[in-house]
Copies of this chain bind each other. A is one copy, B any other.
Amino acid sequence: MPSPSARDLLIARGVRCTPPRIAIARLLLEGPPRHVTAEQLHDELARSGHPVALATVYNTLHHLCAAGLLAPLHVERGRSWFDTDPRPHHHLLHEDTGEITDIPLLDLPLPRLPEGTELVRADLIVRVRGR
């Protein structure tokens, strides 16, 4: 089964189709899951012939997160990463290289949540070093 078209994904989630959003959705949502930063994506858009202002890249990334098409990823100080696979799963961070890889969903033991709160997400980041 081929990936659904970027346009259809946007429409399905009620996100307005504009040229920058379509270009971004095409790069991120058609094809295999990846992790990107805003800066990376900004460069990639320019190189692919669809230059988009950095501010618009951030805007769109946040919109796509809110729409559930991306997941934000906080692994290190400074940069924000975005995961093109919004389904629950975990991450392994190689601290020497900065490389992030996915870990299939582990069945984590979760604590009892405080009264009246609901779970948003449980992020597990396994940090490793070495060769």
Contact = CB atoms under 8 A, between A and B. Distances in A.
A103 interface: yes
B118 A129 contact: yes
Interface residues of A, number: 37
Contact of A119 (B118, B119, B128): B128
B106 A111 contact: yes
A46 interface: no
A105 to B, nearest CB: 11
A128 to B, nearest CB: 4
A120 B111 contact: no
Interface string A19-51: 000000000000000000000000000000000
Interface of A: 72, 74-77, 80, 92, 94-95, 101, 103-104, 106-111, 113-131
Task: Give 5 closest A-B pairs by Cβ, nearest first.
Answer: A116-B131, A117-B128, A120-B127, A117-B130, A123-B125
